[in-house]
Structure 1
Amino acid sequence: MVASARADIFKVSQLAGPLILTNLLYVAIATIDLIMLGMLSPLELAAGGLAIGIFNQFRTMGTGVVTATGNLVSDAIGKAKLAQITPLFNASMLIGTFLGLLFAAAMFAIEPFLRFIGTSEAIANLTTQYLTVVALGLLPCFWFQSVRHFSVGLKRPGPLMLITGVSVVLTIVLNYGLIFGQFGLPQLGFVGVAAATCIVLYLSFLLFILFAKRDDVLSPYLTIKFWQTDREALSKTWKMGMPIGATYGLEAGFFTVLALFVATLGVNALAAHNVVSQMVYIVFMVSAGISSACSIYISEANAAGDFHHAKRIGNLGIICGAVVMSVFALIYLFIPEFVLLPFLSAEELQNSDVVVIAIELLFIAAFLQFFDAWQNIGLGILRGLGDVKSTLMLSLIGYWCIGLPGAWLFQEFFSLGILGVWYALMLGLAVTALSEIWLFNHRANRLLEPTLLKEQNA
């Protein structure tokens, strides 16, 4: 048993390692955007952070839908049905195109909604300017994610790290150049951050396609004629992807609604919230890599009927998530100023209100991130068992029926302000995470019952 566990840790680490590094590099793009915005003013940091949060809301939902591609490809491999792989990839690209156009239209028309919920005119105007530009990057973003999950399903994530690393460098150069008019680029100021992100998303996708076409494992299944799919592949991707996208959307929407709530509490509160939320988002990407790797291997084990193996991988993922989060918790608790330093300008570091609020939020985040990691890993391991509908319901209950009313209650009746919002955030994540962990083990045990009966009768 110990040897099997070690082998599983090794296999999952081999796949999760590149995915984690890729996730961290990918989120570095948004982090660099936030750092660059911090060089401007508290108002532009607040508005830009809000815009990034809204963009991430749409990006997360679309990414969630095409995430199903990885599990479906892995399932096809487990069942030795390799002819299904190309139609599944093409279906993912088609669905990503549809969602990219739909979500971009929603971002173009968001200003009236921001005004309706009480966002100040200055923040609403700047947020809308940012979103109008960055919305053009949703299409290549979803295409990139389709190729990514297709490659992960085939256990070939290698080029992702190199491509995303190049994207990070381009983001730094383009951000600085377009904000301040350097390197022969036009000076666009605040909107330059959005323009840089959009350009990098297109280049990242094109680079990934070029690398994938040169890969001996990926290339045979790739085609630029992604409209050549079939109803079965479209149906499978949509039926599995929609609950995943909705689940991701409920979680991201929970964060987004809370950010909109914080936006009504003032510029200092919103600036501190944006900074700490971005740090939480960075660490979230570590658990996302663990979740994806576990999910792929559980899908393969589930397809082969090896439920002992599937359960062991899931529980190892939960333990690994707790170990990693312990490291970040210690950093938050003992050197919070070090965490905040890259995100705040000299002006904001002198603003004691922003710094004090951010340090208080980091204290909560030290504990919150255990539940954030577990709910993320819980989604992946349940998805590996083919259960995507239960996670949707658990997310709805945890975030929207418990967490969101809790934020209103803590803020209005207990006068906890932004701290109440974050306590409610932790409550919603805790309910969702613990429910998913219990459900995974319950589902795995049910699948194991026939095997255990045979072993007892033998």
Structure 2
Amino acid sequence: MPSISKEWVAEARTLAGISASVTITMLAQLAISAVEILIVARLGIHELAGVALALSIDLLVFLATLGVVTAVTPLAAAARGRGDFERLRRYGQGGLLVGLAVSVPGVLVLLGCRSILVAAMGPGIEADSASAYLAGAAGGLPAWVLYVAVRSLAVATGQVRVTTAVMLAVIPIHAALAPWLVFGGFFLPPLGALGAGLAYAATGHAALMLLAIAIRLCPAGALGASLRSPFVFDRTCCREIVQLGVPFACRIVLREGLLPAAAFVLVPFGAAAVAAHVVATRIVDLCGVFTFGFSDAANARVGHAVGSGNPAHAARSAWVAVQLSTVVGLGAAAMLVLAPTAIVRAVLGDLDPADIEAAAALLPIAACLLVLESVQSAAGGALSGLRDAKGPLLIAILGGWGFGLPLGLVLAWLGPDPAAGIWCGLVGGACLTVGLYLHRLRSRLGDCVRTQHAAARPRHEQVVQ
């Protein structure tokens, strides 16, 4: 790994800048979700339960669709590194076309969830509220996916600030729309959970519209040039995005679905174990936002270096991203270890002290998982920049689902604390995943160096002759 030098500092500054912009965007999206929960809570506990479940379903579908268009980042970054701006433009426009295509089945899934919700929850207010929210939110899925497609291109071109500014701008728009649509007013009847979904959809379209205006007003740079008309359908570029993006999407869904799946595993052990697990999951997800940006940053920087034929720069970008993400993860984990009870109380409020202590007992274990996921996030982003999709997907399946979750189930049955057993198993699976990720990253970076040497050898021999 590179030592601390001027090159290290320069790379760290660039990675941190990209990561900070992505992190702010993620926090803005969390703020929108928090506003929805606070407003729907005023409708009643049954409506809140239904919308909370609907948010989980909507997030799962959103992740499955956005994962495909995130393949724009390494492909466009590599084209930019080669100086092939025409190819960069075709990848950017292809990402929009692919985003529209993959969002259509996502909309159909959201609209068709009512029968599944009724079967799972039974007929009642919860199922009605969940299906109403999804019906309202479904229309916004294409807009949000297109926003992510543009953001992926912005990360590749180093112009991510514009997408961050747009996300910050739509927070007050959502805050104004949500109560109006939920509770009514100004000649509009109260729409309840349906109104909350419509507010989320309208916010997505507002974000996309503001993004289009910003790019139109400031066309300078690779981002504006790539999205400027005329639009060209390049079948090859679209096929490359899909071929690389589908494994990306599967990996994202598998990673984000691991902790919710563990909650279902804990159901036979009682509500207290599930509640403690859910609280720890929420805290880890919130802390993980601060390291998520290094995945996108490593993806773009490594992809750019590979495209420019500079494997040494690719290696430096990859390892610096891993180091920075690990440091940030360690800082967040330290807070979980040093003040677990205070953190849980801040999340739960004045609840049963026994529930607070049960959740707080999980945070030291959760801190270990948080650090490992910080390393995994940056290493996974670097592998994405190397266009390595299937290998990390298989590692994620093996480490989390093939080893971690089964181990957690065994420890839950054998140990005194089922929730702690599950989390210990997940930590074990994360250890395996991280180890395999780092080994594969080192191997793939070595392959880049050997490929460059092999390409340069004939020219050298020709000069000698």
Task: Give the TM-score normalised by structure 1.
Answer: 0.87
> Does structure 1 residue 87 correspond to structure 2 residue 90?
yes
The Cα of 1:70 is off from its aligned counterpart by: 1.6
Q: Is the 8 A contact 2:136 2:195 kept in 1?
A: no
1:204 is matched with which residue?
A: 207
For 1:150, the aligned partner's letter is L
Alpha carbons of structure 1 residues 107 and 327: separation in structure 2 relative to 1, 3 Å: same
What stretches of structure 2 of length at least 5 have no aligned partner? none
> Does structure 1 residue 171 correspond to structure 2 residue 147?
no
> Does structure 1 residue 301 correspond to structure 2 residue 288?
no
For 2:326, the aligned partner's letter is A
Q: Is the 8 A contact 1:268 1:353 kept in 2?
A: no
SS of 2:83's equivalent?
coil
Distance, in Å, in 1 between the alignment partners of 2:49 and 2:267 is 8
Equivalent residue runs for 1:206-355 within 5 Å: 206-215=209-218, 216-217=220-221, 218-223=223-228, 228-261=232-265, 273-336=277-340, 338-340=342-344, 343-344=347-348, 349-352=350-353, 354-355=355-356
2:136 is matched with which residue?
A: 133
2:359 is matched with which residue?
A: 358
1:67 is matched with which residue?
A: 70
Between 1:446-455 and 1:324-333, the stretch displaced more is 446-455
Equivalent residue runs for 1:409-428 within 5 Å: 409-412=410-413, 414=415, 416-428=417-429
Q: Deviations along 1:240-284, whole A, 9 cap, x unmatched?
A: 111111211221232343344456766666555444433322332
Alpha carbons of structure 1 residues 342 and 404: separation in structure 2 relative to 1, 3 Å: same
Q: Is the 8 A contact 2:89 2:227 kept in 1?
A: yes
For 2:315, the aligned partner's letter is K
Q: Is the 8 A contact 2:178 2:196 kept in 1?
A: yes
The Cα of 1:407 is off from its aligned counterpart by: 4.2
Match of 1:102 among 101, 105, 123: 105
Distance, in Å, in 1 between the alignment partners of 2:143 and 2:267 is 30
SS of 2:71's equivalent?
helix
Q: Is the 8 A contact 2:309 2:452 kept in 1?
A: no
Distance, in Å, in 2 between the alignment partners of 1:272 and 1:46 is 17
Q: Is the 8 A contact 2:279 2:344 kept in 1?
A: yes
The Cα of 1:3 is off from its aligned counterpart by: 1.6
The Cα of 1:145 is off from its aligned counterpart by: 0.6
What stretches of structure 1 of length at least 5 have no aligned partner? none
SS of 2:70's equivalent?
helix
Q: Is the 8 A contact 2:276 2:359 kept in 1?
A: yes
Alpha carbons of structure 1 residues 186 and 370: separation in structure 2 relative to 1, 3 Å: farther
Q: Is the 8 A contact 1:70 1:296 kept in 2?
A: yes
Alpha carbons of structure 1 residues 32 and 274: separation in structure 2 relative to 1, 3 Å: farther
Alpha carbons of structure 1 residues 451 and 429: separation in structure 2 relative to 1, 3 Å: same
For 1:291, the aligned partner's letter is S
Between 1:99-108 and 1:316-325, the stretch displaced more is 99-108
The Cα of 1:335 is off from its aligned counterpart by: 3.3
Q: Is the 8 A contact 2:63 2:252 kept in 1?
A: yes
Alpha carbons of structure 1 residues 26 and 14: separation in structure 2 relative to 1, 3 Å: same
Alpha carbons of structure 1 residues 421 and 57: separation in structure 2 relative to 1, 3 Å: farther
1:384 is matched with which residue?
A: 385
Alpha carbons of structure 1 residues 274 and 95: separation in structure 2 relative to 1, 3 Å: farther
The Cα of 1:399 is off from its aligned counterpart by: 2.2
Alpha carbons of structure 1 residues 150 and 430: separation in structure 2 relative to 1, 3 Å: same
Between 1:154-163 and 1:126-135, the stretch displaced more is 126-135
> Does structure 1 residue 58 correspond to structure 2 residue 61?
yes
Match of 1:154 among 154, 157, 170: 157
Alpha carbons of structure 1 residues 157 and 35: separation in structure 2 relative to 1, 3 Å: same
For 2:136, the aligned partner's letter is V
Alpha carbons of structure 1 residues 273 and 134: separation in structure 2 relative to 1, 3 Å: farther
Q: Is the 8 A contact 2:136 2:197 kept in 1?
A: yes
1:403 is matched with which residue?
A: 404
Distance, in Å, in 2 between the alignment partners of 1:425 and 1:186 is 47
SS of 2:158's equivalent?
coil
Distance, in Å, in 1 between the alignment partners of 2:271 and 2:184 is 27
For 1:303, the aligned partner's letter is G
SS of 1:305's equivalent?
coil
For 2:78, the aligned partner's letter is D
For 1:3, the aligned partner's letter is K
Q: Is the 8 A contact 1:179 1:187 kept in 2?
A: yes
Distance, in Å, in 2 between the alignment partners of 1:323 and 1:350 is 33
Distance, in Å, in 1 between the alignment partners of 2:352 and 2:184 is 28
Alpha carbons of structure 1 residues 52 and 264: separation in structure 2 relative to 1, 3 Å: farther
SS of 1:387's equivalent?
coil
Distance, in Å, in 2 between the alignment partners of 1:63 and 1:179 is 27
